[in-house]
Amino acid sequence: MKKFLSIVLSILMVASLSFSAFAASSEAVVKTTSGKFGITEMIDKNYRVIRTFKRDEVNNNIQARLGKIDYSETKAMLLELGMEQDFIDKLSLDSLETYRRSKQLIGITSYTKSDADHNVEYVEEDVALAASAIINEAQQERIKLLANGDKVVQTRAQDTYEDSYMRVFYLVTHLGDGEYKYSTDARWLTMPMFRGKDSIGSCAQNGTVTPGTQYGWYEYDVTHTNFGRITYSYYNADISSSNYKNAVNGNWYGSAAIIDLPNDIFADYTNTVYTNYKVHFEYTGYVNYPELVSHFNTSGTYLHSTLHIELTAPSVSLNIFGNGSASIGIRVTGFKEIRSVELAITYRP
C-alpha cells in the first residue's frame, strides 16, 4: 500500500506541472534531413514533428522492373516518418504497395494532454511519455490491489481525475494525378475517465471524398482479475462501415468514423480494465483541379466526447476556425476534447 500511495503522490506532482500552450503554428524551429531516406524533418512551436518524403522515381521504377520490391524498405520509411510499428504491422499488401509507389508522403506527429476542465494542449514527447508511464504504473498497482480484494480508489470513480495523454499521427500521401490518401492514427497513452462515443477522421480543402475508400480499425488490451488471478488478452476489430460519416463545410470536405470506448468494470474480486486503445481511419480523394498547381490545408482529428452526444443517431460535423484550419468529428451536445493536427500541402501535377 505504501508503494501505491507513493505512485499516487507522483501522479499529483506530474499533474501539477504547468505546460506552456502555444497557438497553432506551422513555423518550424528545427529543420534537418535524417536517415537513409532523405526525409526532411521540422518541429513547430507546438512540439509537432513534421516529416516529408519525396519518391526517387528512377530507383522506384528500377525496383519494379527487376522484380526486387522489398516492403521492408517501405516499412522502415513509414517508421521514420512517424507511423508506429503496431500500425505498420497491420498494413495490407495493397496499402504497402500504395505507399511504395506514392510520389510524396508527409507525416505529422503530436502529443497532447487534456485536464479535468477539458483543456487540450500540445506537449513534448518525453513529457507525455513520462507522465503517462507514472499514471499507467499506478493503474497496474490498483489492479493488483483490487485482485487481492483491497478497497482502493477505482479508476472510474467520479471524484477523481487523471490527466489524459494521446499520440496522434497524421499521414497525407500523394498517390499521383491529384489523388491523395488521408490516414489518421491515434493511441491513448492513458485511458480517459469518461468513455462513450468518440470519432477519428480527417478533412481537406478543395477536394473530394471517394466513396468506398473509407476504412478503419481499433484494438485494445484487456486486463481481467478474478479472485486474485490476473489474466491478459487483446481485442481488435474493423470499424463497421455504418459508422463512417462524411461532412462538408464550405470548401472543406472530410470523412470520419464513430467509435466506442470500452468502460472499465469493477466488482468485488472481479474487475476488467481496458488500456492501450489504438484506432486508425483513412480515405482517399482528389483535388478539385488536378491540372493546376494548388495549395490547400488539411487536418487529422480525434474528438473525445466527455459527457453527452445527440439523442438522435450519431453524426459528424466539420468546423472551420479563423486561422485557416478545421476539424471533423462527432456532433456532441456536452463537453468535447479536440485533438487536431494540421498540414499545408502544395499540389503539383
pLDDT (tens digit per residue) in 267-306: 777 889 999 999 999 999 999 999 999 999 999 999 998 8
Q: Give the torsion sign (CA, 323, 41, 289, 283).
A: negative
Residue 159 has a pLDDT of 34
- 44, 28 Cβ separation under 8 angstroms: yes
In this predicted structure, the answer to whether residue 29 has a pLDDT above a threshold of 90 is: no
Residue 160 has a pLDDT of 43
Give mean pLDDT, residues 71-97.
95
Question: What distance in Å separates the CA atoms of residue 256 and residue 244, rounded to the nearest whole number?
Answer: 6
CA angle 80, 83, 88 (to 5 degrees): 105
Question: What distance in Å separates the CA atoms of residue 238 and residue 101, rounded to the nearest whole number?
Answer: 25
Average pLDDT, the chain: 83
155: confidence class by pLDDT, cuts 50, 70, 90: very low
In this predicted structure, the answer to whether residue 19 has a pLDDT above a threshold of 60 is: no
Computed on alpha carbons and rounded to an integer, the radius of gyration of the chain in Å comes to 21
31: confidence class by pLDDT, cuts 50, 70, 90: low
338: confidence class by pLDDT, cuts 50, 70, 90: very high
Residue 311 has a pLDDT of 55
Question: What distance in Å separates the CA atoms of residue 143 and residue 99, rounded to the nearest whole number?
Answer: 41
Residue 153 has a pLDDT of 47
Place of cell 464550405: 250
Question: What distance in Å separates the CA atoms of residue 18 and residue 314, rounded to the nearest whole number?
Answer: 35
Give mean pLDDT, residues 323-342.
86
**Which amino acid appears at position 20 of this protein?**
S
Residue with the bigger pLDDT between 117 and 261: it is: 261
Least confident of 5-9, 118-122, 199-203, 325-329: 5-9
Residue with the bigger pLDDT between 310 and 71: it is: 71
In this predicted structure, the answer to whether residue 148 has a pLDDT above a threshold of 70 is: no
Q: What is the dihedral of CA 126, 129, 130, 136, to 10 degrees?
A: 180
Residue 7 has a pLDDT of 38
Give mean pLDDT, residues 322-342.
85
Residue 102 has a pLDDT of 94
Supply the pTM of this predicted model. Answer: 0.85
